[in-house]
């Protein structure tokens, strides 16, 4: 399963084998991908005109979802802030 937007997060959390996040610098999906609670997340930069590296970590510990609740990983746990480490093609 693959996604590139925060609206894809429910689908990716439900995936059972691999979870591919295309890095478009979207906070919720990238927090889950970098946190990698299940060990099944992969991160891929955008293929065309990849986004640059975020200068600050993703604010996973304080970011909220559209309903205003703190975002959590696929196990329902809060996440630490995550640095952006996969942002450009080699």
Compute mean pLDDT per 10 residues along the chain, 90 residues long, and list them. 95 96 97 97 94 95 96 96 92
Number of separate helices (H) and strands (E) present in the chain? 2, 3
pLDDT at position 88 is 87
pLDDT at position 89 is 82
Euclidean distance between CA atoms 76 and 89, whole angstroms: 31
pLDDT at position 25 is 96
pLDDT at position 69 is 96
Give the start-end residues of each E strand in 1-90: 2-3, 19-23, 41-45
Could you tell me the pTM of the whole model?
0.94
Euclidean distance between CA atoms 60 and 74, whole angstroms: 13
């Amino acid at each position: 399963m693959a996604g590139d937007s925060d609206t894809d997060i429910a689908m990716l959390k439900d995936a059972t084998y691999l979870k591919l996040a295309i890095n478009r610098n979207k906070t919720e999906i990238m927090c889950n991908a970098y946190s990698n609670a299940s060990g099944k997340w992969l991160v891929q930069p955008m293929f065309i005109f990849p986004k640059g590296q975020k200068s600050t970590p993703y604010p996973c510990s304080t970011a909220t979802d559209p309903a205003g609740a703190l975002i959590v990983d696929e196990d329902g746990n809060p996440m630490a802030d995550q640095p952006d480490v996969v942002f450009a093609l080699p």
